[in-house]
Copies of this chain bind each other. A is one copy, B any other.
Amino acid sequence: ELGVCYYPEQWPREKWEDDARRMVELGLAWVRIGEFAWAKIEPRPGEFHWEWLDDAIDVLGSAGLKLILGTPTAAPPKWLIDRHPDILPVDVNGVVRKFGARRHYCFSSRVYRVEAARITDAMAERYGRHAFVHAWQTDNEYGDHDTIYSYSSEAERAFRLWLAERYGTTEELNRAWGTAFWAMNYNSFDEIELPNNLVEEPSPTHIVDFIRFSSDQVKSFNKAQVDIIRGHAPGRPVTHNFMSHNTDFDHYKVGEDIDIASWDVYPMGGLLNGRLSREDKGRYLRVGDPDQPAFNHDLYRTVGRGRVWVMEQQPGPVNWAAHNQSPADGMVRLWTWLAYAHGVDMVSYFRWRQVPFAQEQFHAGLLLPNSEPDQGYLEVAQVVEEMKRLPKGEARGKAKVAILLDYNSRWATRALPQGRTYSAAASALDWYSTVSRLGVDVDFIGQHSDLDGYQLVLAPDLVIANQAFVEKLAKSEAKVLFGPRSGSKTEDMHIPEGLPPGPLAALIDISVARVESLPEFHGETVLYGNETYPSGIWRETVRTSETVLATFEGEYRNGAPALVGNDKARYMAAAAQGDLLKKVINDALGWASVEALADLGDLRITRRGKLNFAFNYGKEAADVPAGTGATFHVGGRKLAPVDVAIWTE
């Protein structure tokens, strides 16, 4: 189903009916409202103005739309800030971040917790059982503009409590943080400060614990809203709209408390900051990184425990990136079908109409500011028509290959990167992309996930492996490929006793005796099979009794293992990219008996139930690898650039 984000408070009352009518006419089923409306609902303390919101819900709902109502806590009003300035977050330099945009609150502010509950309760009480309100969204984009980490005195106070609960005694904290190192010992939890503005780097455990604390603050802040909403709105699903591949907090943990994970899809901005070479950025300028949206659909499907929505879909150029190129004509349709193919059940476009004032006036909508249809509108209309031709009820099945994404491990790398250009995020997307180019579907898993049915687990950066996961993996049928740094830290952010990969040594007999990070202009070389490949910016010295599948060649420790393995597990001692990564993953697929296609280039293939999908991100027409008896519901065997084909075999 399709929907749209709408802000009645930003438009004259006389436009509402017409807007609602046109939404339905276009074929939209859902409309999200409310998430920035606090100051309109409660313009002065305790003075509630529900009438306009009652009216808006009535207009939209009466037109036939299902409403998703957002709690307005991402934007507390000025009068609230002026009464309680300690709501404001503090940045890493110690500067208070002021009112005037949004997300100007600290998750640890006690008064803001009370206020956020108050307004949530008021909204939920009023609309929880409203016939037109079918779903709820908590807040908006946790983490936008670096808002997870606040260095306020409220955060310091809460951090101390969190640490006291985690460690019990300062002795235990001193042990975990290794404060014996530079006489950093603490005698009391009240002595502990936040890890900013130090002379040198803090203890990595201090950093990671602050991240874990901050992540837990998001979870409890969100859960408080969910609990209130559920109390008043039984049976209505609650969601939150996450941001693509944000790892500032543990999305699995927040996902536990909601019914559906949704996320906001803006592929254009991510392209230019992303992992690709400058050449590829030019090539994909108006289609985006072909794997970034799919990666996140698959990730948030896991965060939502099977249920995933797109809450905001880019409908044209946006306003917030360094450069804001237009998507190619056809991309809004392509992204919509891509979402559907990856198991997304609702795609909501952001926004109905481009706003002619305030911060986002360069952000496109489905309509131009003067209410004419923009390009996105036309493409949505096309999707609506095409949807009618598809068989209903197909569900995204479980994949044979799982990629492990572990937030705790990401934080470990953030606290101790050891190489400035090492990016775990880029590496994970590279692995995903490599599998996708071979036409293989993927699920994301965490260490908590069920492994049944997977033939191959890819673990590009499982830095902190827990014992339970290792045992589950050992018992499962799955084979597993580990990237470098796997198992290199304990939960306390220590090197495991007996050297890395710590608990993973139960699966593969190796020990890592040395690691090094290399500048991007330097290349190592790996010999794998009969071919040599350039290798990347990370290299490990591995000792092993297992089979050596590939070796480093060159001046430094020539012949040292680069890839080792046994029947259950393989371990890469290099940060592989490009052709080396393709070779490693392709071989691993074969080893795990997962069927793959030849490299698809700019084409992508995926499946939802018995439906097959092809997407062409390239500049040339491509041949769709459909069987001879295939039935095409959308498109055909020859796929133009920026085009989509859907068929059943």
- Chain A interface residues (CB < 8 Å from chain B): 7, 9-10, 36-40, 43-44, 72, 74-79, 82, 89, 91, 93-104, 144-145, 147, 176-187, 191, 193, 195-206, 272, 278, 281-282, 285-286, 316-317, 319, 322-326, 328-329, 354-362, 364, 368-370, 372, 374-375, 416, 418-421, 492-499, 513-519, 521-522, 537, 539, 541, 555-557, 619, 641
Contact = CB atoms under 8 A, between A and B. Distances in A.
A100 B319 contact: no
Most chain B beta-carbon neighbours within 10 Å: one of A98, A180, A193, A416: A180
Copies of the chain in the assembly: 3
7 contacts: A39-B183, A99-B184, A101-B198, A103-B199, A278-B521, A323-B517, A323-B537
Given A102-B199, A521-B282, A356 B182 contact: no
Nearest to A555: B619
Contacts of A495: 354, 356-357, 361, 369
A316 B370 CA distance: 56
Given A99-B184, A317-B515, A357-B493, 16 more contacts: A9-B180, A36-B181, A36-B182, A43-B187, A78-B186, A93-B93, A101-B201, A179-B358, A182-B359, A323-B421, A324-B517, A325-B518, A329-B556, A362-B416, A364-B514, A370-B498
A519 B197 contact: no
A424 B282 CA distance: 24
Contacts of A328: 555-556
Given A43-B185, A183-B38, A513-B374, A285 B518 contact: yes
Contacts of A493: 357
Contacts of A187: 43-44, 78-79
Contacts of A147: 199
Given A98-B196, A201-B101, A36 B323 contact: no
Contacts of A521: 278, 281-282
Contact of A494 (B7, B191, B319, B361): B361
Contact of A97 (B101, B197, B322, B329): B197
A10 B494 contact: no
Contacts of A177: 357-358
A9 B185 CA distance: 12
A416 B537 CA distance: 38
Most chain B beta-carbon neighbours within 10 Å: one of A104, A182, A324, A555: A182
A282 B100 CA distance: 45
Given A44-B187, A93-B95, A325 B555 contact: no
Contact of A95 (B44, B197, B362, B492): B197
Given A75-B184, A182-B102, A187-B43, A494 B356 contact: yes
B185 A39 contact: yes
B522 A369 contact: no
Nearest to A319: B418
Given A101-B184, A416-B362, A492 B202 contact: no
B537 A183 contact: no
A189 B507 CA distance: 66
B178 A100 contact: no
Contacts of A197: 91, 95-98
A185 B77 contact: yes
A37 B199 contact: no
Contact of A360 (B179, B181, B316, B513): B181
Contact of A78 (B74, B184, B286, B498): B184
Contacts of A99: 184, 193, 198
A494 B420 contact: no
B516 A181 contact: no
A519 B268 CA distance: 12
Given A180-B9, A516-B317, A357 B418 contact: no
Contacts of A101: 182, 184, 198-202
Contacts of A326: 514, 516, 539, 541, 556
Contacts of A418: 319, 324, 362
A423 to B, nearest CB: 13
**6 A-B pairs closest in CB distance:** A178-B358, A178-B357, A181-B358, A101-B200, A356-B495, A39-B183
Contacts of A355: 178, 181
A557 B182 CA distance: 58
Contact of A522 (B7, B282, B317, B372): B282
Contacts of A204: 358-359, 361
Contacts of A206: 100
Nearest to A11: B180
Contacts of A317: 514-516
A413 B191 CA distance: 42
A195 B98 CA distance: 9
Contact of A184 (B39, B354, B513): B39
Contacts of A38: 183
A177 B82 CA distance: 20
A72 B183 contact: yes
Contacts of A200: 101-103, 144-145, 359
Nearest to A512: B368
A148 B372 CA distance: 42
Nearest to A176: B357
A199 B362 CA distance: 19
A203 B323 CA distance: 19
A202 B100 contact: yes
